[in-house]
């Protein structure tokens, strides 16, 4: 069952944006095109419809702060090559983290075993295609000195502790990744991309009266240059985490049962990700295991609902110049004014369903097969002023910040966890509420959306989506929204 969550618990001179041309002219650190062509030929050696070579080299830097000290700094390199061969609906896959030619050819031959025929000797020339740029960075994050990264966390720790004397524990982490990928396939398509991502998170524990402990968690990031942290400062991230923890001290038990809920803008986009996004992924649709299968053109949500998945948002965490099959990321309207308009396709499911890929084939590394996945998923803004949405609710629950969520694709049941919530009484925020969770069935919840705010907002940039054990960076976004008659989990009855 797929799930998404904010990534759990982690001064520089502003850098200049390098011209795009300079970046693309860098010598590829990956395999030479000639070798890719020979591997493709080997993979087609027993006859097949299609073969692909996926090359990846990812370096990761991670810094952890605990008890006001930099506990550790680490750097890692993972690299490998995956070879995929498709015959009809059958897929053979093999990968190797050894870049020696004999190991690579062995992988190609292993993947080829899925085909039973004898292939004729053929050449599969490839041609590098131009790739759009949605996230140029001035300097690869792997080339930024570690000391500049550790400094962010020290500043965050100080700011969180200075925020309120009741802040007892601060754990902060910073992680970045520079991921170089190259994808070549037997249609001749060869594309290369570098995908940087940077993310900081701060996790705090506040101590209240009578030993009460509340946590706060906040972070930020994206496919950004390191200079991003001059704008979104570690102080601002830490203060938001501390604010959440302090605000929820003295929270009362959540009342269980159906309520009217108002969702604050931003992270609440997890609702869309779980309630509709996963159910529109083409693998579930093709297999008929999603409740959205066969519903194209049908009304699946209220008129106010327009859902978009967009891999082309500048510098967003879920953006992709190319997906992991080498196709460009796209902007897709999935639901328009409540009507189901489209699904998310990778290449294989698109072919089997006689459709066009939407550039949604993503994988977490060379060790995995691509799956249709979301990028940045958001709800288009509506006409309602956010203040009015709250004012109209006599009694209900205001959901301010969110933990993770999960969905069961077949029956559409989804949950999402609310880490900061308040009672609404006569259109105003009341006491904080603890331990709230929302549960619903995708289309029903979407039909119950009765107000959509005019205040679109993306999440701050640290979402992780899990499907089949594969973890990917994603973005979500939602304006202020009111949903009627939502089942709220809690401990208090009546």
Partner 1 sequence: MNYEQLAKKIVQRAVKRGAKQAEAYLEVGRQSSVRVREGQIEDLTEATSKGVGVRVFVKDRLGFAYTSDFTPAGLERVVDLAVQLAEAAAPSKLNGLPSAKDLGKRGDTGLLFDPKVANLPGDWKINAALEAERAGRAEDARVATFDSVSAGDFVSEVYLASSEGATGGYSGTYVYLVAVPVAAQDGQLQTGFWLDYKRFFDDLESPESIGRQAAKRAVRMLGAKSVKTCQVPVVFDPLVAANFVQNIAQAADGNAVYQRSSVLAAHVGKKLAGNHITLVDDGLLPRGLATAPFDGEGVPTRRTPILDKGVLSGFLYDAFTARKAKARTTGNASRGYSALPGIGTTNLYLEPGAQSPEDIVRQVPRGLYVTALLGHGADPVSGDMSCGANGLWIENGELTHPVQEVTVAGNLLQMLKDVDAVGSDLQFRGGSAGAPTVRFRQLTVSGA
Residue 259 Cβ vs partner 1, minimum distance, rounded to whole Å: 10
Of 405, 401, 388, 400, give the one whose Cα is nearest residue 450: 388
Q: Which of residues 314-353 bind partner 1 (CB under 8 A)?
A: none
Q: If we measure between CA atoms, which residue out of 37, 326, 52, 366 comes closest to residue 185?
A: 52
Closer of 270 and 304 to partner 1 (Cβ): 270
Using CB under 8 A as the binding rule, the residues of this chain from 387 to 426 that contact partner 1 are 403-411, 413-415, 417
Collapsing DSSP to helix, strand or coil, 166 comes out as coil
Among 26, 353, 385, 439, binds partner 1 (CB under 8 A): 439
Looking at beta carbons only, is 150 or 355 nearer to partner 1? 150
If one asks whether residue 70 binds partner 1 (CB under 8 A), the answer comes out as yes
Q: Which of residues 265-294 bind partner 1 (CB under 8 A)?
A: 284, 287-291
Is the CB of 151 or the CB of 308 nearer to partner 1? Answer: 151
Between 74 and 113, how does the x/- string for binding to partner 1 read (CB under 8 A)? xxxxxxx--------xxxxxxxxxxx-------x--x--x
In degrees and rounded to multiples of 5, residue 65 shows phi and psi of -115, 135
Three-class DSSP category at 418: strand
Residue 380 beta carbon to partner 1: minimum distance, rounded to whole angstroms: 27
Question: Buried b vs exposed e over 280-311: b needs ≥16 C-beta within 10 Å?
Answer: bbbbbbbeeebbbbebeeebbbbebbbbbbbb
Angle, vertex CA 417, rays to CA 415 and CA 420, nearest 5: 150
Other CB atoms within a 10 A radius of the CB of residue 168 amount to 12
How far is the C-alpha of 105 from the C-alpha of 317, rounded, in Å?
34
Whether 275 and 439 have beta carbons less than 8 Å apart is answered as no
Q: How far is the CB of 294 from partner 1 (least distance, A)?
A: 10
Among 19, 29, 231, 257, binds partner 1 (CB under 8 A): 257
* Residue 405 Cβ vs partner 1, minimum distance, rounded to whole Å: 8
Name beta bridge partners: 127.
189
* Residue 413 C-beta: closest distance to partner 1, Å: 6
Q: Which is nearer to partner 1, 103 or 131 (CB)?
A: 103
Whichever of 188 and 288 has its CB closer to partner 1, that residue is: 288
Considering only CA atoms, which of 39, 67, 376 is closest in space to residue 205?
67
Closest CA to 109 of 65, 176, 45, 180: 45
Residue from 20, 26, 29, 69 binding partner 1 (CB under 8 A): 69
Structure tokens at 148: 């500049």
Instruction: Tell which one of 116, 168, 187, 314 touches partner 1 (CB under 8 A).
Output: 168
In degrees, to the nearest 5, what angle opens at C-alpha 14 toward C-alphas 13 and 20? 135
d(CA 431, CA 90): 56
Give me the least distance between CB of 98 and partner 1, in Å please: 7
Chain CA centroid to CA 215, Å: 23
Comparison of 266 and 405: residue with beta carbon closer to partner 1? 405
**Rounded to the nearest whole angstrom, what is the least distance from the CB of residue 242 to partner 1 in the complex?**
14
Q: Give the nearer residue to partner 1 in terms of CB position, either 391 or 492.
A: 492
Site string for partner 1, 116-145 (x = CB under 8 A): ------------------------------
Residue 70 vs 390, nearer CB to partner 1: 70
Secondary structure of 243-271 in the HEC alphabet?
Answer: HHHHHCCCCEECEEEEEEEEECCCHHHHH
Residues 210-239 that bind partner 1 (CB under 8 A): 211-215
Selected from 141, 271, 379, 488, the binder of partner 1 by CB under 8 A is 488
The contact pattern for partner 1, residues 443-482, with x = CB under 8 A and - = no contact, is ----------------------------------------
Residues in 176-215 that interact with partner 1 by CB under 8 A:
205, 207, 211-215
Q: With contact defined as beta carbons under 8 Å apart, do 478 and 428 qualify?
A: no
Number of residues that bind partner 1 (CB under 8 A): 84
The DSSP bridge pattern shows strands 189-207 and 127-128 to be parallel
């Amino acid at each position: 069952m797929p799930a998404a969550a904010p990534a759990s618990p982690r001064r520089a001179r502003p850098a200049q944006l390098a011209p795009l041309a300079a970046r693309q002219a860098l010598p590829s650190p990956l395999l030479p095109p000639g070798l890719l062509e020979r591997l493709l030929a080997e993979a087609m050696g027993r006859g097949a419809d299609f073969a692909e070579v996926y090359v990846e080299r990812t370096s990761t830097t991670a810094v952890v702060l605990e008890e006001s000290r930099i506990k550790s700094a680490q750097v890692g390199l993972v690299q490998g090559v995956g070879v995929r061969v498709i015959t009809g609906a059958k897929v053979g896959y093999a990968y190797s983290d050894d870049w020696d030619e004999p190991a690579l050819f062995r992988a190609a031959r292993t993947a080829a075993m899925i085909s039973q025929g004898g292939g004729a000797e053929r050449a599969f020339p490839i041609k590098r295609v131009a790739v759009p740029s949605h996230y140029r960075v001035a300097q690869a994050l792997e080339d930024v000195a570690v000391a500049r990264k550790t400094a962010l966390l020290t500043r965050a720790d100080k700011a969180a502790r200075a925020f309120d004397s009741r802040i007892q524990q601060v754990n902060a982490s910073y992680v970045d990744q520079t991921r170089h990928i190259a994808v070549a396939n037997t249609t001749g398509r060869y594309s290369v991309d570098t995908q940087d991502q940077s993310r900081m998170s701060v996790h705090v524990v506040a101590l209240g009266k009578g030993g009460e402990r509340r946590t706060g968690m906040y972070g930020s990031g994206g496919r950004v240059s390191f200079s991003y942290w001059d704008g979104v400062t570690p102080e601002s991230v830490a203060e938001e985490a501390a604010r959440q923890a302090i605000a929820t001290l003295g929270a009362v038990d959540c009342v269980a049962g159906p309520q009217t809920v108002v969702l604050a803008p931003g992270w609440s986009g997890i609702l869309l990700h779980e309630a509709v996004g996963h159910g529109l992924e083409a693998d579930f649709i093709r297999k008929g295991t999603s409740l959205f299968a066969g519903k194209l053109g049908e009304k699946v949500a209220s008129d106010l609902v327009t859902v978009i998945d967009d891999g082309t948002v500048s510098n967003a965490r879920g953006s992709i110049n190319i997906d992991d099959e080498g196709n460009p990321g796209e902007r897709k309207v999935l639901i328009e004014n409540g009507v189901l308009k489209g699904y998310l396709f990778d290449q294989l499911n698109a072919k089997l369903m006689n459709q066009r890929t939407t550039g949604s084939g993503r994988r977490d590394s060379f060790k995995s097969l691509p799956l249709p996945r979301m990028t940045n998923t958001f709800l288009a803004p509506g006409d309602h002023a956010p203040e009015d949405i709250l004012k109209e609710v006599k009694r209900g629950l205001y959901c301010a910040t969110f933990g993770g969520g999960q969905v069961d694709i077949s029956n559409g049941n989804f949950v999402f966890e609310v880490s900061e919530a308040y009672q609404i009484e006569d259109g105003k925020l009341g006491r904080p509420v603890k331990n709230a969770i929302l549960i619903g069935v995708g289309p029903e919840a979407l039909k119950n959306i009765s107000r959509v705010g005019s205040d679109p907002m993306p999440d701050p940039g640290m979402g992780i989506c899990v499907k089949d054990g594969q973890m990917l960076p994603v973005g979500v976004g939602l304006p202020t929204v009111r949903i009627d008659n939502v089942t709220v989990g809690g401990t208090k009855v009546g």
